[in-house]
Chains A and B, each alone.
Chain A
Amino acid sequence: MGANQAQTLKAIREAEAYDGPSIVIAYSPCIAHGLKLGMGHAQAEQKAAVECGYWHLWRYDPRLEAEGKNPFQLDSKEPDWTKFQDFLKNEVRFSSLLKQFPEEAVELFKVTEENAQWRLNGYKRLAAQTF
C-alpha cells in the first residue's frame, strides 16, 4: 500500500471483480519486524521495500489472456538494488543477526538479495512474454 496506493486499490478491485478465485498478497509491516523508525513509518517502510527490490508489485489477471494480452503485469519500477542492504539493516529482524552472527549475517543477507533478484527476474520474464 505504501509503495503505490493506487496499485493496491486496483489490485483489490480487480480481484473482487474477477468471476472466479482471486488472491491478494498484501505486504504488511509488523511490530515483529522491529522497524528502526517505528510503526509510524509503516507506509514509508513499504515504499522503501519496493524501491530497494525487497518486495515487488505485480498483478496477474487471466481475463487479459482471453483478450490476447499478457495476463502478467509488473507494476513496480526497476529497483535501486544499492538500497537493499540498508533496508535490511533498518529492521531489527535482520539487524539483530548482524549483531549476533556478523559473518554469517553478511552471507545470508547476500542470499536474501539474490533471492529477491531471482524472483524479480522471473517476473520480468513473464512480463516480457508475448501473447
Chain B
Amino acid sequence: MAKQKKFLTCDGNQAAAHIAYMFSETASIYPITPSSTMAEYVDEWAAAGRKNIFGETVRVDEMQSEAGAAGAMHGALQAGTLSSTFTASQGLLLMIPNMYKVAGELLPGVYHVSARALASHALSIFGDHQDVMAVRQTGCALFATGSVQEVMDLAAVAHLSAIKSRVPFVHFFDGFRTSHEIQKIEQLDNEDLAPLIDQEALAAFRQRALNPEAPVARGTAQNPDIYFQAREASNVYYNKVVAIVEDYVNQLSALVGRKYGLFDYYGAEDADRVIIAIGSVTEAIKETIDYLISKGEKVGLVSVHLYRPFSAKHFLAAVPKTAKRIAVLDRTKEPGATGEPLYLDVKDSFYTSTERPVIVGGRYGLSSKDTTPAQILAVYENLSLPTPKNGFTIGIVDDVTFTSLPQKEELAFDGGPFEAKFYGLGADGTVGANKNSIKIIGDNTDKYCQAYFAYDSKKSGGFTASHLRFGDKPIRSTYLVNTPDFVACHVQAYLRLYDVTKGLKKNGTFLLNTVWDEEQVKQNLPDNVKKYLAKNHITFYIINATGIAGEIGLGNRTNTILQSAFFKITGVVPYELAVEQMKYMIKKSYGKKGDDIVNKNNAAVDRGADYVKVEVPAEWANIQTERFVSPGVADAPAFVKKTVFPINAQTGDDLPVSTFTGREDGTWDQGTAAYEKRGVASRVPVWIPENCIQCNQCAYVCPHAAIRPFVLDGDEQAKAPAGYTALKATGKQFDGMQFRIQVNVLDCLGCDNCVDICPGNKNGNALKMVPIEEEYDNQANWDFSVKEVKTKQHLVDTSLNVKNSQFATPLFEFSGACSGCGETPYVKLISQLFGDHQVVANATGCTSIYSGSAPSTPYTTNENGRGPAWANSLFEDNAEYGLGMNIGAEKLRDRIERLMHEVIAGGRLPENIQTLFEEWIANRNSYVKTRELADILTPVLKEYAAANPLCEHGRQLAGLTHYLVKRSQWIIGGDGWAYDIGFGGLDHVLASGQNVNVLVVDTEVYSNTGGQSSKSTPVGAVAKFAAAGKRIRKKDLGMIATT
C-alpha cells in the first residue's frame, strides 16, 4: 500500500521519543547526556496532551537516579503498564541490576539508549558502544539502528517484539552522531503502528500483572535445588525472539518501503572483502562501498540490527559466500579479552560454517571519534594485505602499541551533497541559526538535509562548528564535514586560532565576518589563509555583521545577518523564499517579546546581502608560509605546549597515543586554564583608582578570578611598568605599600558582577565596563602583577573578613564556567582559604566540567607549588568518594602516629626530635601546627632515612612526610547530586562523623544536562521534566542534614 509520505526534520532522539511515546503508558526517567532530550520530548508532549496509541497521554515520572528510574519502570511493568525509559552510559550501568530482573521476569520493557562512552581514565559524554556492550549479558534483547531514518523506521520493532516475545528490549543508536544529527526523514504515526501490536500478547501481559484479586509472589529466593532449572526454563521465550523480530522488521520494511533485515547486506554480490559493523558507521561504510565499487572493487558490508539474541544462521546467510576476508568493527574496548564482542560473535558464527574466511577485528570511533570514508578505506586495504592486521584501530595514530592502520587522505565524492561548515562562538546564535536554516531547507524544498553541531567543553564563549549538508538523495555521511563547499567564519579572531579554511574544496566559497574593509582584509589576513584561497580558487566574501548588528541594535547577535548572507551566497533555496521563511521564523520565535525585537531581526535578514566580494590576488598562491601554526604562550611548560595548545587549536585529533605515555591513568597537570587567554569578553572592567575604597568585593564575587587586588612593596613599585597606577594601601600591615585592582583582560568573561557589586565612593563607581579593544594594553600590567608582585597574604589574617580573604591568591582561576556563574565564587573562595592543603572530590556536573575538562584545569598551585588536588569519580558516589579519600589519608596519618610512638618508646631519639614528634601527635588535626612541624620534620626525616638505610621506622616515616600536614577534605557537587542521585551516600557521610566538608552549589536544577528539575527545584519553577511547572515542594536538605 503506497502511503502518503510525511516528512519531518528532526534528530535521532526526537525520532526515538516519537515512537516510544506511542507505545508507552508510563515512562520513568532521569537526565543524562546525550539521552535527556528523548525524555524531555516525552515530558513536553505529555504536558501538551499528545495521545499515545492507547488514546492517552504518557505518565512521566522523573526519578532520583537511573537506578530509581529502572526500579520504577520494573514496578510499572509488574503493575501491567507498558513502560519505557531513556538513558545512556553510566545511567545504563545503574540500570543493570533491574535489567536482569525485568528480563528474568519476562516483562516487556523498552530501554532507548543513545549509546555513549563510559568513564574510565576520563569521563566522556560522547558516543560509542561501551555502555550497550556492558548490558549484553542481562537477558535484554539488543536492537540497533544506524541513522535517524532507521530510528524512525525500526524503533517500533523493540516495543512490538517486547510485547509479543515477553523479552525486554534495549533499542540503541549512536550518541550524538545519530541522537543529535538532524535529518529530514519520513515520519510514522500512531495509525501506522497501532495495528501491528499483538493484542493477544498484550492482553496476556495485563492478565499477568500483580493483582490482589488473584495474588501471586514474584522475586522469591531460590536455592541450589531449583534456581538453575528455573533459570533455564525461560529459554523457550528467547528461542522465539529471532523469528518475532524478523517478522516485525519485515512488516515495517513493507510499511516504510525500505528493506531491512536482522542483518542487512550492502555491496557487491560477489564481494571478497566484507566489513561487519553496528550503528551509524554503517552509513559511512555504504558511501565508501559505492566509491570502491565504482573503481571496480568487490567489497561489502553486513550491518547488524538484532545483536542479542545473535542469530548465527541469519548472520551467515547475510554474508556473501564469496567473502574471503572479513573485518569486524567494534565501537568499544574490552581490555584483556581476545577481541571485542562483535568480533568474537562473528568468529564464533563461522566456527560451524563450511566457509573459512580470514576474520580480523578492530576498534573505531571511541568517544565519537569521527569515522570517515578514508578510515574505512584503510580497513578494506588492510583486508587486502597478505596477513591483515588483527586488533587494529582506525582514526588515531597509535605509536605505542602500533595498533593503528595507516591514515589515508579524506575522500571527496563526486555528486555528493553540498557541504557547509560554520565556525561560531558559543551562545552567539550560530548554532541556533543553522538549526533554523536546516528546517527552512527541509520544510520548503525536496532536498534532503543533515546538520551536526560540534562544541568544546566551555560553558559559554566556547568554540562551535556547525556541519551542514544538503542534497537530492538521502545523506549517509555520518561524519563531520571535512571537505566543505562553503565555509563561514563568524569570528574574526578564529583566523589566527584555528585552521578555518582546512579542507575547503577547490572553487569553494569562504565567507568571513570581519570588521575590516576589503583593503584591511588584504593586509591582515594570515598568510596561510591567503595562500589557500588563491591556490584553490576560492570565492571570498566579507561582511561586517558585527558592525551591522551594532547599527541595528542587536548587540553582538550577528547570527541572523550571517544566516541571510549564507542563503544569498549559496542560493541553496531561492533567496526570496529564504527571506520569507527567516522572517516567518523570527515572528514565531520573538513574536511574544514584542514588535521591536521582531523588526530588528527582520532588518538583520535584509542586511544579509551587504557582503562584499574580495578579489583574491593570484600571487597569494606563491606566498611562502608554514601550514597553519597554532599560537601559544612562549614560556608555557612542555606539557602545555605539546598537549594543551594543540587541543585548544582544534587539532587534538592529530595527537598520537604516545602523547599520553606516563599519563595512562588520566592524570592531568593543574593550572593549564591560565594558558588559554581566550579574550572572549566583548566588554571588560576598567579600574578607576580615585573612586576605590579598597574593599576587594569585586575580587570576592568574580566568578572567574579575573580581577584581583595586588599589594606592592617598594621594590615592586620601582619595577612597575609605566602607567601602572596604584593607591596607597590602607591598613597598617601594608605600611609603605601600594594597592592596585588589576583586571585580567584576556581571561575576563565580561559578566559585569564586579561593576554591579562595587560600592565606589561619593564620586561614583570604581569600576566600569569598556570595550575589550580599549583594554588590551592593560594585559601587560596583569602579566607584571602575577609575575613580579609577590603575595602579601602572610601579612593579614585572610580568614578574618571579606577584604582580607581576597589578598589570598585564588587557586581556582579562569574556569570554563558560564560568564557570571553563581557557583564558582564559592569554589574560588574555598581555594583561597584552604587551597594549599585542600583535596577535592567532585561530583559529575557543571562543577566537574569546569573544574576538569581536558585540556583546561582551573585548579592551580601557589608559589610553593602547592594547591588543591582534585578528582572526579562519578555523579552518584561523590560523598563516598570524598569520605574514602579522607579515610585513606587518615589511615596513613595513623601510621605516622604509631611509628612516632614506637620510636619515642625506643628511647634513643634526640630530645629535640622527640619533642617535635610529641607536638605532632598532640596537634595532628591542626593545619597550622602540622604545617609548621612538617616544614621542620620533612628534611630531618628524609636526611635521617638517607643516612640510615637500615632503619625501618626512619624509612617508613620518610616515605609518609606528605601526610604530615592536616588536609582539608572537600566534597563538591550540585543539587542534582546532593538532593537526588547522591543523597543516600551524602546522608551516610554526614552520619559518619568523619572530618569532611561538603559544598553544595545549589542552582535548584540540573544545570549540566540542560536544566532538568531536581528535588531542590521549588514549586512553580519551569524546568525540563517539569514543563508544566514543578508541583512538588522543594526539599530542605539543610534541615535534613542537621538531624
Measured CB to CB, the residues of A under 8 A from B are 1-2, 5-6, 8-9, 12-13, 15-16, 18-33, 38-44, 46, 58, 60, 71-72, 88, 93-94, 96-97, 99-101, 104-105, 108-109, 111-112, 115-116, 119, 122
Contact = CB atoms under 8 A, between A and B. Distances in A.
Q: Which 10 A-B pairs have the closest CB atoms?
A: A39-B820, A40-B752, A28-B822, A29-B822, A108-B1020, A30-B1003, A32-B1011, A23-B998, A112-B1020, A28-B823
Interface string B988-1000: 0111111111111
B1003 A9 contact: no
Contacts of A46: 822
B592 A28 contact: no
Contact of A40 (B756, B968, B994): B756
Contacts of B504: none
Contact of A108 (B753, B1007, B1019): B1019
A40 B1020 contact: no
A27 B1002 contact: yes
A23 B1000 contact: yes
A128 to B, nearest CB: 16
A32 B1034 contact: no
A21 B999 CA distance: 11
A9 B1039 contact: no
B992 A26 contact: no
A34 to B, nearest CB: 9
Contacts of A33: 1003-1005
A22 to B, nearest CB: 5
A24 B978 CA distance: 11
B1042 interface: yes
11 contacts: A12-B826, A18-B995, A19-B925, A21-B993, A23-B1041, A29-B1003, A31-B818, A32-B1007, A94-B1020, A100-B1028, A108-B1029
B1022 A93 contact: yes
B880 to A, nearest CB: 12
Interface residues on B, range: 35 or more
B148 to A, nearest CB: 28
A9 B1018 contact: no
Contact of A5 (B460, B802, B834, B1021): B802
A112 B1018 contact: yes
A16 B1029 contact: no
A108 B1004 CA distance: 17
A55 to B, nearest CB: 9
A18 B999 CA distance: 14
A30 B1007 contact: yes
A40 B751 contact: yes
B830 interface: yes
B1005 A32 contact: yes
Contacts of A88: 1020
B1042 A43 contact: no
Given A23-B1041, A28-B826, A108-B1020, A6 B818 contact: no
B819 A21 contact: no
A109 B1002 contact: no
A21 B1007 contact: no
Nearest to B1012: A32
Question: Which of B701, B755, B978, B1018 counts the most chain A CB atoms within 10 A?
Answer: B1018
A101 B1030 CA distance: 12
A112 B1019 contact: yes
B114 to A, nearest CB: 22
A94 B996 CA distance: 35
A96 B1022 contact: yes
Interface-central residue, B801, B821, B986, B1038, by most chain A CB under 10 Å: B1038
A115 B1016 CA distance: 12
Contacts of B1042: 60, 71-72
Contacts of B671: none
Give the most central of A15, A20, A26: most B CB within 10 Å. A26
A43 B753 contact: yes
Contacts of B1004: 30, 33
Given A9-B801, A43-B701, A24 B822 contact: no
Contacts of A111: 1019-1020, 1033
B799 interface: yes
B798 to A, nearest CB: 10
Contacts of B996: 21-22
B256 interface: no
A104 B799 CA distance: 47
Contact of B999 (A24, A40, A96): A24
A13 B833 contact: yes
Given A31-B818, A41-B752, A109 B1020 contact: yes
Nearest to A27: B1002
Contacts of B592: 99
Contacts of A22: 996-998
B825 interface: yes
A1 B1011 contact: no
A20 B994 contact: yes
B994 A108 contact: no
B1001 interface: yes
A111 B805 CA distance: 39
Given A20-B994, A93-B1023, A39 B751 contact: yes
B1003 A20 contact: no
A72 B978 CA distance: 22
A20 B1041 CA distance: 13
Interface in B1025-1043: 1028-1031, 1033-1034, 1036-1039, 1041-1042
B802 A9 contact: yes
A119 B1042 CA distance: 14
A101 B1003 contact: no
B1016 to A, nearest CB: 9
B700 interface: yes
Contact of B756 (A6, A19, A43, A72): A43
B815 interface: no
B586 to A, nearest CB: 18
Interface in B919-937: 925
Contacts of B289: none
A96 B1004 CA distance: 16
Given A30-B822, A42-B753, A94-B1022, A9 B829 contact: yes
Contacts of A58: 1038
A116 B700 CA distance: 28
A116 B925 CA distance: 39
Contact of B1000 (A5, A26, A60): A26
B757 interface: yes
B822 A27 contact: yes
Contacts of A71: 1042
Nearest to B696: A5
B844 interface: no
A66 to B, nearest CB: 15
B697 interface: yes
Nearest to B1006: A32
B822 A21 contact: no
